[in-house]
Every structure is written in structure tokens, then in C-alpha cells.
Amino acid sequence: MTYALITGASRGIGLAIAQELARRKFNLLLVARSAPALEQTARQLATEHGIQTDFLALDLAETGAAQQVYDWCTQKKYAVQMLVNNAGYGLSGSFEKHALAEHTDMMRVNMTALIELTYLFLPQLRQQSKAYILNIGSSAAYQAIPLLSLYSASKSFVLQFSRGLHQELKGSPVSVTCVCPGSTDTNFVDRAQIGEKGRNAAKKVNMTPEAVARQAVESTLAGKTEVVTGFLNKAGKFMAWLLPKGLVEKAAGSIYE
Ligand SMILES: NC(=O)c1ccc[n+]([C@@H]2O[C@H](COP(=O)([O-])OP(=O)(O)OC[C@H]3O[C@@H](n4cnc5c(N)ncnc54)[C@H](OP(=O)(O)O)[C@@H]3O)[C@@H](O)[C@H]2O)c1
């Protein structure tokens, strides 16, 4: 029996991806820190869709977390056919405002855990007749963003790694897709401590996590390389490419002042 493993499945985009995949009859393995939320979702989706589900509550910022996820799957004999690296968050404000440990924790969740999980699960994914890696990037990947500098850099990392790996794995059963959402109505702004100006800007263009999840799953199953969700975010990516970098960065950073 094969499974889709989703990190950050306790809420927001990850939860919506779990719901979307459940509708398509994927068995699910849900990972995040919030055990009660994971347990409830696992039970509900199993009952509603007649699928197998399980969950593992752990902090992906901890050293060795990805190995723990892998060992848990091995012990339970869960074969992963789809790996969804969705867990992630931002920290807004000046780079120096946050403690170094806060930055390194964010880097571990956004980048290190994604890399380690990908590395550990790849041999197993290669054994499937068709397998998928879905990495959640961000529209923040397309330009540097002052006052959200490290987050945008971490998402550029996710995007470039995903694109490279997609090419490396051509001809294998594994396809890699990077989905880059723009503002989405989740807990993201609270966790990132984004101020009033940023919140108001986000509200005007927010997509629902369900709409993002639908596009993410569809494009993953279609084997796409890179997808920006929503027309406005696609237009934003084009403008970031077209306009002088300094201008784009000033405009992007002004949201977080
Ligand atoms: N919302 C947006 O505007 C937006 C835009 C572009 C990209 N994204 C990306 O979309 C992804 C999902 O974010 P979201 O918007 O759905 O935010 P969210 O509602 O805050 O959800 C984040 C998820 O990640 C999990 N997570 C956070 N820290 C974790 C840790 N240390 N260990 C394990 N799990 C952890 C959270 O679960 P627990 O708290 O239970 O651990 C939660 O399930 C992120 O990669 C984010 O960067 C979001």
C-alpha cells in the first residue's frame, strides 16, 4: 500500500492538500507538531474517504527530524509514493531583530528538512511505477524582499533545488514540482509576525488554501516543473522579471515596513 506524506498538514495549505489528495483516494501520512490537529484530520479523512491515514507529531526544526520520519515509515512499512514538502514559515522584520536561533530554526524547517526528506525518500520513490515530489515554494522566491530577506532567500533555494532535481530525475519514475503560492489565507501572517500594512495588502489578494491545494495537486500529478498559483501572482512574477531589481525590491519590502 502506498501513501502521500505531507509535512505541515495540521492546517493551512498542507491541510488543504491532505483534503485534496484524500478526495483522490491517496492514503495519507500527516506530519507537523500539533498532534491533536493531525489526529483529528487523520481520523476524519479516513472515515470520509475510506482511505488509510496515520500521523507523526514532531518538530522539523530538530536535528534528525527527517530521519525520524523516515524511520517511522520504515518501521510501519509505509511506502511513500508522493512526498509533499509543505511545512514552512516566515519571519518578518529586520534581519537583526530576530535571534540567530530563530533564523536557523526557520532555515531547518524551510530548507534542511525538505532536503533531508527528499534525499531519504528518493530511493523508495524511484521504486514506484510513478512517484511525485511536491515542494511548496512561494511568490517570495522571485525577488529579494527586504524585511523578509531570509524567508525569500529560503524559497529561492527551494525553487532552484526543485527545478534542478526535476531535470536530474527526467527519465525516472519521479517527477518534482515546485508550487509557488502568493498570499494565501492561512496562519502564515501571524507566524511571520507581519504588521498591519502587510496584513491589509495580503487580504486584498489572498487566495484560499483550498484553491492553492487544488492547483498544487493538479500540477504535481501532471508532472509540471514550476507553477505559480493565481493570475495576480503570475503577473507579479512577470513584473519581477521585467522591472529593475532595485525597484521591485523597494516595492516588495515596503509591504513589511
Ligand atoms: N500563506 C501564504 O501566504 C503563503 C504564501 C507562499 C508560500 N507559503 C508557504 O506555504 C507553506 C504552508 O504555509 P501556510 O501558509 O499553510 O502556513 P500555516 O497555516 O502557518 O501552516 C504551516 C504548517 O507548517 C507546519 N510547521 C511549522 N513549523 C513546523 C515545525 N517546526 N515542524 C513541523 N511542522 C511545522 C505547521 O504545523 P504545526 O504548527 O502544527 O507544527 C503547519 O501545519 C509554507 O511553506 C509557506 O512558506 C505560504
Residues of the chain where predicted confidence (pLDDT) is lower than 70: none
In whole angstroms, what is the distance from residue 119 CA to residue 205 CA? 35
**Contact predicate 16/94, CB 8 Å:** no
Ligand 1 contact, 12 CB (< 6 A): yes
Closest ligand 1 atom to residue 89 Cα is 47
pLDDT at 42: 98
Ligand 1 contact, 198 CB (< 6 A): no
Ligand 1 contact, 236 CB (< 6 A): no
Please tell me the distance between residue 188's alpha carbon and the centre of ligand 1 in angstroms.
6
Torsion angles phi and psi, residue 63, rounded to 5: -60, 135
The end-to-end CA distance of the chain, in Å, is 49
| Ordered DSSP codes for 224-250 | -SEEE-SHHHHHHHHHHHHS-HHHHHH
Tally of domains within the chain: 1
pLDDT at 167: 98
- CA 126 from chain centre, in angstroms, equals 21
**Contact predicate 249/56, CB 8 Å:** no
pLDDT at 134: 99
CATH of the domain at 198: 3.40.50.720
Please tell me the distance between residue 8's alpha carbon and the centre of ligand 1 in angstroms.
6
pTM of the model: 0.98
**151 classed as catalytic:** yes
pLDDT at 7: 98
pLDDT at 165: 98
pLDDT at 66: 98
Please tell me the distance between residue 96's alpha carbon and the centre of ligand 1 in angstroms.
23
Question: Where in the sequence is the domain holding 90, given as residue range(s)?
Answer: 2-254
| Ordered DSSP codes for 69-118 | HHHHHHHHTPEEEEEEE-------S-GGGS-HHHHHHHHIIIIIHHHHHH
Which residue in the block uniquely carries the three cell numbers 500529478?
Answer: 221
pLDDT at 218: 98
Task: Calculate Rg over the CA atoms of the chain.
Answer: 18
Identify which of 179, 187, 64 has the alpha carbon closest to the alpha carbon of residue 132.
179
